[in-house]
Every structure is written in C-alpha cells, then in structure tokens.
C-alpha cells in the first residue's frame, strides 16, 4: 500500500507567493528563465535555474551553478522570503486552467515505495537529467521540484479534500502570468492528517508517476549516496497526488536536427513504406486519433497514417511513441536511444504546433513530428504491466509551480 507522510514545508510568505512561484525547472531553458526572472528578486528561478545569476558562458551543470542555488536558497530564508512550517502538514493544491479545475494532495512519498515499485513508472529516464537533479538536491539539501503522482480516485480521499476546501480558506490564491489560478490550503488538523495517511496506507495499493520521473529517480539515488546515517527526510521525496479522474494529458512532440543524410523527398519515400503520406501544405497537423502523426519538413506539413500491420496491439507497441521509434526514428533517422541521442529534442504540447514550425523554420531543426497523446488508461496499463514507454511520452497540464512548497531532506 502507498506510504505518504505530512511534512514541514519550506514555503513563501503569503504576500510573496505569486512572486516566488515559478514554472518547473525543466519547462524553461536558461535564456527563457533569465527573461522570466527580470525584475523579480523573489522568483524561485534563482534557485532552480541559478545559472541566470552567473555568466551566460557558464556550463549549467557545473559545481558553481549548484553552489549558487544553495547560496540563493539560504538568502531567501535569511531574507524571510521563505520560512519553515512549524509542524508536519498536508497541503491541498488546486489549479484552474481555462475553467477546468484539478486538485491534488501535496505530501512526501516513500523512497522505499519507489524502489519497491509501489510507485509505478512508465518512462525511461535520461542519465544527464538524473545527474543534474542529484547534484542540485545534494548541494542545496532540498527537493525543489515536485513529482506529479496519480492514483485511481478514491471516494474517501475526495470527501476529505472537498470538505476541507469548503470549510477553510486557502493560504495562497493567485492567478499566474499565464492565466492559471493556483490555490493552496494547509491541512494542519492532526485527526484529518492521520485519516489521510491511513486511507493511503490501507486502501490505495499504489501510485503512478505522471510527471517527474527524473526527480523521483534522483531522490532515490541521493539517498543511496549519503554516507553514514541517512536523515529521515531523505527517505521521502516531494510529491503531489492527483486522482485519475482529474488528469489531462497533452501531446508531447519531437523535433530532429537532421534527416540522417536523406533529402526531403528521400525521407518521404522512406516513410511511405509504413505510412500513408498526405501533403497538407501549410495546414498544421494536430493528430486526432491513434496511429496518425503530423510531420513538418521543408516548410510543408504532412499527415502520416500508420498502415495496418505496422504496429502491434500490446500495451507498448500500440502507442504512437513506439510506432515513431520503431518505424521512423530508428530505421530511417538512426536515432536508437531517445534518452541519449543529441539529435532529438522534445516539445510539450502546451507550446502549440507553432513552436514546432519555428524551430524547423529557424534552421535549428530539420523536421518536427506531432503526436496523439497517451491516455491515462494506457499509462496505468503500461505501468501495471511492468513495461516502460520511451522518454517524454506524456505531458501534463497545468504545471505545478516550484517554490510554493519545498521539502528539506536533512531532517
């Protein structure tokens, strides 16, 4: 069964919450983070993307960057931008995007559960991204990034959370610059806290990583690397748990740097062995069903429809991310491992198809591929079967904000 605990969060003063809250570290690149942080000395980007306070020429994975993150975190605490909760609590986190609301429970989850597969995975991780978070956690002593977990919705948990929201006022409630409303309630009543813990321990058999595979893997590896007695805080990692009936998965698209020596026409000819290829001209292609993809190359969009017999019906093989790897990336483009090959990059669906066009039209990339999103039922089925999808197969929206609730591991 799922082991979760309340924790003493490091969190911002209520009047500073909107300024502190920042998009997750892996959503923004360094240049975007630097622009987002302009004029805001309180943004948590100074901790999660601390390279913005150093030379533009610095290696973002250098020891100096992690040391700067630690210095900035200490400064936020010293300036009383952030303070530590007086007792362990649970937190309720509600996000509203485009009128759609979803509510999760912020807690710390067991590293043992992660290692024993009671926290189920559905994606492979990328080694360099793991190492980045390991270095950040070890240097700062903090888990600054939230792992987004899902669980099959449970009536008792729904009731507890809904009753608390109706009876109490949120400690944070603001609309971010992107129009998403963020509200957080503190659950401090000992009886309610114990009830929540008990429901998960007795009635929730497992949870599923929806977003944050690298953060979870890094937390587990940090614990293994601690010499001597392991602090209790390192046995847990920061998570927000959402019931499955509230989750929304978006597409997660790809861009590739080159066509592996092929011309545009040769590339299209190679694709025709496994796909029906139809030119759509300038009309962007957002796939509306499984086994269809959009391709943007040479200033032109194409609709790709996988031919019957080119994919299997097992939980992994039926997915378009698998068809993409097995029929395009591997055999045609020579990209055998999406985790390590520098010729491929990933673009979350929230950025829109225009972002794909922009990266190709700029000359940075040679082609872009838009995909149909994985469903929550597929995610659960894959995790339950013990299988793993290719990396970056799911993109969840809206994104939790960093900085509102941080877990310190050295307790």
**Is 295 within 8 Å of 369 (Cβ atoms)?**
yes
Alpha carbon distance 314, 390 (integer Å) = 15
Q: Write out pLDDT tens, residues 274-289.
A: 999 999 999 999 999 9
User: Model's pTM, two decimal places?
Assistant: 0.78
In terms of pLDDT, which residue wins out, 165 or 312?
165
Of how many residues is the chain composed? 411
Q: Specify the DSSP element, H or E, that contains 143.
A: strand 142-143
Q: Write out pLDDT tens, residues 83-128.
A: 999 999 999 999 998 888 999 999 999 999 999 989 987 666 777 8
Alpha carbon distance 8, 233 (integer Å) = 10
Q: Is the pLDDT of residue 218 over 90?
A: yes
Tokens 């046995």 belong to residue: 235
Alpha carbon distance 128, 45 (integer Å) = 20
Six token digits for residue 333:
């483009």
By CB neighbour count within 10 A (0-12 exposed, 13-18 middle, 19+ buried), where does 264 fall? middle
- Strand partners for 159: none
């Amino acid at each position: 069964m799922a082991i979760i605990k309340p924790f003493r969060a490091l969190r911002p003063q209520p009047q500073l919450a909107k300024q502190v809250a920042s998009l997750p570290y892996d959503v923004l690149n360094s240049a975007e983070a630097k622009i987002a942080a302009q004029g805001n000395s309180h943004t948590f980007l100074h901790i999660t993307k601390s390279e913005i306070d150093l030379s533009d020429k610095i290696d973002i994975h250098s020891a100096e960057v992690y040391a700067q993150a630690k210095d900035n975190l200490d400064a936020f605490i010293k300036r009383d931008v952030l303070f530590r909760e007086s007792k362990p609590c649970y937190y309720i986190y509600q996000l509203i995007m485009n009128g759609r609301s979803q509510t999760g429970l912020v807690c710390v989850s067991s590293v043992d559960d992660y290692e024993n597969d009671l926290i189920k995975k559905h994606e492979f991780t990328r080694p360099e991204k793991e190492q980045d978070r390991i270095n950040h956690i070890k240097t700062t002593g903090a888990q600054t990034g939230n792992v987004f977990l899902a669980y099959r919705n449970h009536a008792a948990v729904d009731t507890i959370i809904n009753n608390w929201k109706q009876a109490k006022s949120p400690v944070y409630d603001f609309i971010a610059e992107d129009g998403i409303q963020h509200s957080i309630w503190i659950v401090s009543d000992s009886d309610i806290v114990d009830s929540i813990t008990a429901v998960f321990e007795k009635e929730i058999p497992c949870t599923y990583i929806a977003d944050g595979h690298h953060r979870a893997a890094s937390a587990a590896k940090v614990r293994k690397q601690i010499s001597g007695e392991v602090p209790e805080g390192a046995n847990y990692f920061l998570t927000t748990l959402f019931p499955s009936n509230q989750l929304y998965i978006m597409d997660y698209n790809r861009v590739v740097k080159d066509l592996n020596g092929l011309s545009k026409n040769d590339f299209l000819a190679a694709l025709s062995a496994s796909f029906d290829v139809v030119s759509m001209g300038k009309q962007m292609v957002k796939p509306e069903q499984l086994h269809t993809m959009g391709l943007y190359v040479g200033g032109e969009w194409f609709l790709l429809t996988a031919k019957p017999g080119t994919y299997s019906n097992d939980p992994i093989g039926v997915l378009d991310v698998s068809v993409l790897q097995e029929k395009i990336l591997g055999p045609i483009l020579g990209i055998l491992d999406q985790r390590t090959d520098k010729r491929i990059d990933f673009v979350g669906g929230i950025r829109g198809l225009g972002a794909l066009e922009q990266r190709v039209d700029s000359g940075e990339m040679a082609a872009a591929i838009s995909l149909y999103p994985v469903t929550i039922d597929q995610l659960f089925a894959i995790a339950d079967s013990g299988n793993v999808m290719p990396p970056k197969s799911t993109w969840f929206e809206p994104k939790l904000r960093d900085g509102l609730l941080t877990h310190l591991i050295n307790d």
